[in-house]
Amino acid sequence: MTLPAIAPQPGIMEIALYEAGSSTLSGRSDVLKLSSNENPFGPSDKAREAVARAAHQMHRYPSTDHAALRAAIAEVHGLDLDRIICGVGSDEIIHFLCQAYAGPGTEVLFTEHGFLMYRISAMAAGATPVEARERERTTDIDALIAAATPATRLIFVANPNNPTGTMVDLSELERLARAVPQAILVIDAAYAEYVGGDYDGGAELATRLPNVVMTRTFSKLYGLGGLRVGWGYGPRPVIDVLNRIRGPFNLSNVALEGAEAAIRDRAHAEHARTENARLRGWLATALAERGVPSDSSCANFILARFADATTAEACDAALKADGIIVRRVASYGLPHCLRITIGDEASCRRVAHVIGQFMAGRGDAT
């Protein structure tokens, strides 16, 4: 007897697998990985110590309500802890939002060069992903408003955006949320910590408006990408919905303790932020002088722009030959660009040197 083929839900088989930034080059042990926007200084020592201590408690189930971590987040950011939900990276919060609010017959809207997880999570929920064009690699609020329909349930805007590094004003995001009241506007603020000034990632908007949620992560500035901790902040009814589909033990006690210690170490966070800003400015200028422009970035990477896809590919090959891995972003609709994470000072100098040699060798540096 042959069994009937058991098909997954509609949309699942159309998902293109997420490709992470690679981390190895065959035959090399001195690889410089600048492909995943990781903090070159690593996590706070206090986070390392907390993780080591928590390892002794591995036989215990972790907290289900994440009360201590939520309290630390609320304290540091001046937020209401009842409106915070923690997840296995902000990826899980994005997933919860799609699972809870999107589905067959609904649309999930994001921008042309938006984060690949929006499309993946939307399709996993059976929803239709919809892209709005950007203007010069920057979120275009009018294009998003024009692309919204009565079926739109979620709008994802990373601000700053990955892989472009550009951002828009919060007043513009408020205009979007008000223009599309049938949808939740999710402000993905994974890189908010790098912006500085009074940028709050959309926290105030998520406090004031009924259809705005902000997501944050410990994977970038806090250097804990391997631990998998993120969080969301929004209206209480939305957080209540998300908590119903959250696994009760989604975060390990190791992850919870590590993240709490990390966010309480303000000196480490401030050091990572100021060093990034300094080196990002240096690298952008150095590459521009070598004929490789980039948009002004607010995050911990820059998007280096080349004349065409062939040149970007050749430069990527030259970097690899020197043991440097950056991110090709053709899958983000940017085949002529390379996304380069801001490393420490020596790494930035090494990248600038190799790209400079590559451009000089081509004889078309401007």
The residue (of 167 and 312) whose beta carbon lies closer to ligand PLP is 167
Q: For residues 33-52, which are near ligand PLP according to CB under 6 A?
A: 37
The token duo for 228 is: 């998998």
Considering only 115, 222, 233, 306, the residue that binds ligand PLP (CB under 6 A) is 115
Tell me which amino acid residue 91 is.
D
3-state secondary structure of 289: helix
Q: Assess 89 for contact with ligand PLP (CB under 6 A).
A: yes
Q: Least distance (Å) from ligand PLP to the CB of residue 240?
A: 22
Q: Assess 306 for contact with ligand PLP (CB under 6 A).
A: no
The residue (of 223 and 230) whose beta carbon lies closer to ligand PLP is 230
Please name which of 320, 366, 357 lies closest in space to residue 340, comparing C-alpha atoms: 320
Burial status of residue 54 (CB atoms within 10 A of its CB: 0-12, 13-18, 19 or more): buried
| Alpha-carbon distance values, 95 to 102, 199, 217, 282 (Å) | 10, 25, 14, 36
Dihedral sign from CA coordinates of 46, 51, 56, 60: positive
Which residue, chain included where needed, has tokens 């919204």?
148
Q: Which span sits near ligand PLP by CB under 6 A: 137-145, 176-184, 212-220, 252-260?
A: 212-220
Cβ 137 vs Cβ 162: under 8 Å: no
Q: Least distance (Å) from ligand PLP to the CB of residue 21?
A: 10
Other C-beta atoms within 10 Å of 303: how many? 26
Q: Assess 258 for contact with ligand PLP (CB under 6 A).
A: no
Considering only 42, 126, 225, 335, the residue that binds ligand PLP (CB under 6 A) is 225
Please name which of 17, 177, 173, 184 lies closest in space to residue 99, comparing C-alpha atoms: 184
Q: Assess 188 for contact with ligand PLP (CB under 6 A).
A: yes
The residue (of 62 and 165) whose beta carbon lies closer to ligand PLP is 165
Q: Assess 193 for contact with ligand PLP (CB under 6 A).
A: no
Considering only 44, 111, 211, 219, the residue that binds ligand PLP (CB under 6 A) is 219
Name 39's Cβ contacts closer than 8 Å, sequence gap at least 6: 220, 221, 222, 223, 272, 300
The residue (of 37 and 211) whose beta carbon lies closer to ligand PLP is 37
Mark residues 141-180: x for contact with ligand PLP by CB under 6 A, - for none. -----------------x---x------------------
User: Which ranges in the chain belong to alpha helices (H)?
Assistant: 45-54, 67-77, 89-101, 116-124, 141-147, 170-179, 203-208, 236-245, 253-264, 266-289, 309-321, 345-362
Cβ 334 vs Cβ 163: under 8 Å: yes
The token duo for 209 is: 């408006």
Q: Which span sits near ligand PLP by CB under 6 A: 9-17, 166-174, 216-224, 281-289?
A: 216-224
Q: Least distance (Å) from ligand PLP to the CB of residue 121?
A: 11
The residue (of 262 and 359) whose beta carbon lies closer to ligand PLP is 262
Q: Least distance (Å) from ligand PLP to the CB of residue 353?
A: 27
Cβ 191 vs Cβ 220: under 8 Å: yes
Q: How far apart are CA 161 and CA 50, in angstroms?
A: 31
The residue (of 93 and 279) whose beta carbon lies closer to ligand PLP is 93
Q: Least distance (Å) from ligand PLP to the CB of residue 280?
A: 16
The residue (of 79 and 359) whose beta carbon lies closer to ligand PLP is 79
The residue (of 162 and 211) whose beta carbon lies closer to ligand PLP is 162
Instruction: Report the interface residues with ligand PLP, using CB under 6 A.
Output: 37, 89-91, 115, 158, 162, 188, 190, 217, 219-220, 225, 230
